[in-house]
A and B are shown apart, each in its own frame.
Chain A
Amino acid sequence: MKPTIAIREPVVDDLMDQTEKSLTEDQIEKVINEVIDQETGVRLQTYVNTCIHCGLCSEACHWFLSNDRDVSFAPVTKVKDTIWVMLEKKGKVDAAFIKRCSQIAHTECNVCRRCGMYCPFGIDIAYMMLVVRRICAKLEMVPLYLQDTVNSHAATMNQMWVKPDEWIDTLQWQEEEGQGYVPSARLPLEKEGAEIMYSVIGPEPKFLAQLLGNITVIMNVAGCDWTMPATAGWDNSNMAMYSGDFEVMARVERLHHETAQRLKVKKIVMGECGHAFRGGEYDGPTWLGWMSPPIPIVHAVAFYYDLLVSGRIKIAKKVEGPVTAQYPCNIIRNAGLGSKLRYIMNAVCEDFVDLVPNDRHAFCCNAGGDTINCGPPWKKIRVQSARLQSENFKRTGAHTIVTPCHNCHSGVEDIVDGYKLGMHVKFFSELLIEAMEIPEDLQA
């Protein structure tokens, strides 16, 4: 089978370039066959044998559509140029091939699973891309910046090299910020037996600490019995799941769930992040042998929905003007929270302008599946390949795009900058803080 002609600007990625030089063909063959024999089964074989190469999945992929239907970005091409060759050659491929595999699987696919919905056989191309990533990770062929976040997960159990004291200190500081709105507000640390353990992703304490102040206000106004851990296990994100380092993924997920078990909470409520939900709800538990998380996980969108429906949070003044929202794949297409997202958007916005296509059919922001974590070297092609979604945003005429997912947030900011959309990008909690009623007895 001939490889597809793929025209790409050269990208310098120090780690991938270095690994390309050091990998031997024996190593490669061993790892490919090990992963295929020991870690995959009928699922992979069925997908590979069922695909009739019809290319219908192409119409689903924003990479293909944003790059003028360049076939080298089509889902089936991604499979054809990676796992098919590995299977056909029984692992006898070279280091340059593995590097291209990493480029395809890590930097040119968001494992967003949109294509699977358009395949007449429901073939899950994203799953095959994750198998490719697994092989690449075991060969240490991973984009530099992504590997650095995985290293951070491995060493600190959080994504951003946040040290234990920095974490606690930030929570204590944000508790005070929350008290600016609600003087009696508390951010309870290590409270055994609280109903809710709230967990976030590494960038919150590192760059977006105000979100921790916001949640302090929301939890206190809603009268929630909640806590946050003062130990590792607070970060619910998991880049190792996406790089292909499943052992680190499992250790991070195990600690997150065991922290909730240790605190004897009834549920984990997690901040606005899509992939973290996937890791906590599906990939982590599955690797560890749990059917579902031992302590149930509730994504922020579902949590805010409950607070608004039950009236525990009331809206004082809706956000004015047109506002739209990105549908994060991992909580919408893959977990069905679309109608709850629309409900909360309508509850806080005067004029919620929906995306077309929306819900399960919405396109990925092109940051997901870790592509944004591949860092600056890969940014140009990522933003270029989000053209389609930039046009979808533009058509809404919104002044603000809400992104209930951290990856989407950063990715959509890049789209807004790159395509000069002149829109704001906000988390839902930022709108809620603007719009919600703070009862008089709680006010400053």
Chain B
Amino acid sequence: MINSESWDWECNKKMVADTSKWKDQFEDVWEPYISSDGEKIASIVKVGEGEFNIAVNKETWGEEPFEKIWYSRFSPDGRLTALITKEMEWTMAVDGKTWEEMYEYIWDTKFSANGKVIAATTKQDGVYAITVDEKTWECPVKLESIASHIISPDGKTAVAIAQTVATAEADVNAFTKGAWSVIVNGKPWNDNYVDVYGLVISADGKNIAAEYRNSICEYGILVNGTPWNEKFGCTWEPVFNPTNSDEISVPVRQEGQWFLATNGRIVWDKGFVNLMYQTYSPDGSNIAAGVAPSFAKWTIAVNGQPWSTTFNECILKPSFSPDGRKVVAIAKDSGNWFLVVDGTVLGEGCDNVWPPAFSPNGDKVIYKIEKNGKFAVAVNGEVKDKEYEALWNPVVSPDGTKVMICGVKGGKYYRKVVLLSDI
């Protein structure tokens, strides 16, 4: 978790940077990112022909520009990372300082929960690997490609879905034998599979699960390299119980319907046209998921029981309030996006809605919305703080009394902290 206790939670409003000046200063200014604590705003900027830098608040990353920069992302601990190239080779830059090693390519930066560990996929001499804080995996088999990777919250485990067997063009037999596996800190699982998807690590970092495909229409779940006995017509990505890393829940398809299965056993007796995004409550005792009880009618089911309100376009991943008593989800109906709490729609439809922050007892949801090209903060469906050109998700203070709102208005980037009761 990000330790937000040390952030400045005094109620005030400060102008962190006048980003409108960047437009005069540089040839081009890319979309900005902010640090988790809101104290820094950064944009990749073009300083000349084939010359790029990063502007952070009032500074740039040193005098010397880079040939290319992309994927600038703040680590949760406030360090700014970006992928840069020098003389046709790539590496990671952290707060302007590059990693020593250069790579043929580097991409997909990931962070541990506290941001201390930085990992990315790298390619060197045609071999793919995960590089964690400048240390590249030494894998006993040559990895032909890496499809995706994740890192445990404590940063100690990096896991990837990788191609472990080289296959010739149109060699369907080699493919069917299995050419993909899961690599954990550089060590592959024993077996190869036709396909691997939906990789997850338990909250304590001890267990790893993924979906796999055995043959056409035969899907299952692997846990630490061992398959469940049960097979299904299709699966979606598994999820660990946050308080019990021996419990995994997965949407599974049987006879044309989707069910929720826990550790191989179907636990929701009712089947759905689709079931996705199963999410545990913080204490692990309840599960909410996006479901379609009938075609083009989407809603949330909590422990198998769907809300009575349905939406005709789609529903996104639900979340629980910190006390686990409320469930919220973003839904789309007839072209508009809505925030929905326990089946009740809050406020009017918007052009976009972002996942909310909760007050500690869950009675307030505070979230970012978009309407007519401008952004605003909404609280329980009421639009409060409007007319932002850019806005980030509001964050509630650790003591639950205040909220941090960061956004750009009139070309200036502001960070403000207000009492929850005042908003």
Q: Tell me whether A140 and B274 are in contact (CB under 8 A).
A: no
Q: Tell me whether A155 and B296 are in contact (CB under 8 A).
A: no
A163, B143: Cα distance in complex, Å: 12
Q: Tell me whether B234 and A245 are in contact (CB under 8 A).
A: no
B147 interfacial by beta-carbon distance below 8 Å = yes
Chain B interfacial residues counted at CB < 8 A: 54
A-chain residues with CB within 8 Å of residue B71 when the two chains form the complex: 189-190, 230
B133 interfacial by beta-carbon distance below 8 Å = no
Q: Which residue of A lies closest to B297 (CB)?
A: A289
Q: Tell me whether A294 and B217 are in contact (CB under 8 A).
A: no
A137 interfacial by beta-carbon distance below 8 Å = yes
A-chain residues with CB within 8 Å of residue B179 when the two chains form the complex: 155
A318 interfacial by beta-carbon distance below 8 Å = no
A191, A247, A294: residue with the most chain B Cβ atoms closer than 10 Å? A247
Smallest distance from the beta carbon of A116 to chain B beta carbons, Å? 23
Q: A38-B255, A247-B233 are in contact. Are A264 and B274 (CB under 8 A)?
A: no
Q: Tell me whether A39 and B256 are in contact (CB under 8 A).
A: yes
A12 interfacial by beta-carbon distance below 8 Å = no
A251 interfacial by beta-carbon distance below 8 Å = yes
Question: Which of B308-316, B401-409, B414-422 faces chain A?
Answer: B308-316
Q: Tell me whether A169 and B172 are in contact (CB under 8 A).
A: no
Q: Tell me whether A165 and B107 are in contact (CB under 8 A).
A: yes
A137, B216: Cα distance in complex, Å: 8
B-chain residues with CB within 8 Å of residue A193 when the two chains form the complex: 31, 352, 370
Q: Tell me whether B216 and A138 are in contact (CB under 8 A).
A: yes
Smallest distance from the beta carbon of B54 to chain A beta carbons, Å? 16
B202 interfacial by beta-carbon distance below 8 Å = no
Smallest distance from the beta carbon of A390 to chain B beta carbons, Å? 28
A-chain residues with CB within 8 Å of residue B147 when the two chains form the complex: 155-157, 164, 232
Interface 0/1 of A149-193, CB less than 8 Å to B = 001001111000001110011001000000000011010111111
A-chain residues with CB within 8 Å of residue B298 when the two chains form the complex: 289
Smallest distance from the beta carbon of B28 to chain A beta carbons, Å? 7
B241 interfacial by beta-carbon distance below 8 Å = no
A432, B109: Cα distance in complex, Å: 37
- What is the size category of the interface that chain A forms with chain B? 35 or more
A261 interfacial by beta-carbon distance below 8 Å = yes
A344 interfacial by beta-carbon distance below 8 Å = no
Q: A290-B296, A294-B332 are in contact. Are A251 and B197 (CB under 8 A)?
A: yes
A343 interfacial by beta-carbon distance below 8 Å = no
B219, B314, B351: residue with the most chain A Cβ atoms closer than 10 Å? B314
Q: Tell me whether B313 and A292 are in contact (CB under 8 A).
A: yes
B-chain residues with CB within 8 Å of residue A250 when the two chains form the complex: 234
In chain A between 123 and 144, which residues have their CB closer than 8 angstroms to a CB of chain B?
137-138, 140, 144
A-chain residues with CB within 8 Å of residue B223 when the two chains form the complex: none
A-chain residues with CB within 8 Å of residue B354 when the two chains form the complex: 264
Smallest distance from the beta carbon of B270 to chain A beta carbons, Å? 15
Q: Which residue of A lies closest to B294 (CB)?
A: A289
> Would you list the 9 A-B pairs with minimal beta carbon distance, nearest first?
A291-B296, A294-B314, A289-B292, A289-B274, A165-B105, A289-B273, A148-B170, A247-B234, A163-B145
B contact residues vs A (CB 8 Å cutoff) = 27-28, 30-31, 49, 68, 70-71, 104-105, 107-108, 121, 123, 145-148, 163, 169-170, 172, 175, 179-180, 194-195, 197, 213, 215-217, 219, 233-234, 253, 255-256, 272-274, 292, 295-296, 298, 312-314, 316, 332, 351-352, 354, 370
Pull 22 A–B residue pairs with CB atoms less than 8 Å apart, ordered by A.
A145-B170, A148-B169, A148-B170, A148-B172, A151-B175, A154-B195, A163-B145, A164-B107, A164-B147, A186-B30, A191-B30, A191-B31, A230-B107, A232-B147, A247-B216, A247-B233, A247-B253, A250-B234, A261-B314, A264-B370, A289-B298, A294-B332
